[in-house]
Amino acid sequence: MTAAIAWAPQPIELDRPARPRLRPVAAPPSSRRPSAVVLRRRRLVAAALAVGLTVTAGRVATGWWGASGSAGAAPAAATVVVAEAGDTYWRLASRVSPGGDLRSTVDALVRANGGRELRVGDRIDLRR
């Protein structure tokens, strides 16, 4: 025969006081001085931010963000370009300023050539 286990609920204590609500308390300010390493790191970060802001302000003031339209412009060294058989404005622009965006160089070549079609032997002067 097996003994039956009887389950009885635990008695509820009504006399027990309610738990106080816990409130977050701000930690008191530390009276310790930061270490030399921490101060040095803070100075380094402040200096880096100052340099970054100065450079950014200088770029904005001079228009050197790349929005000035000078990306891929023809350099002053190659001022005269002669068209050969099979050349296009794009091929001439890549010869004048290799790499980067060639659109502004192509526009300069077209303007310097009077906007007409490119012909063999055309000498395009970019100094204008």
Number of domains observed in the structure of the chain: 2
In a domain? residue 101: yes
Residue 27 lies in a domain: no
Residue identified by tokens 């023809």 is 74
What's the pLDDT score for residue 59? 76
The predicted pLDDT at position 89 comes to 83
Give pLDDT, residue 12: 66
Residue 1 domain flag: no
Q: What are 22-55's pLDDT values in tens digits? A: 787 777 777 788 889 999 999 999 999 999 888 8
Rounded distance between C-alpha atoms, residue 96 and residue 71, angstroms: 13
In a domain? residue 57 = yes
Q: The domain containing residue 107 runs over which residues?
A: 80-125
Predicted local distance difference test score (pLDDT) of residue 40? 94
113 occurs within a structural domain: yes
Rounded to whole angstroms, the Cα distance separating 41 from 19 reads 45
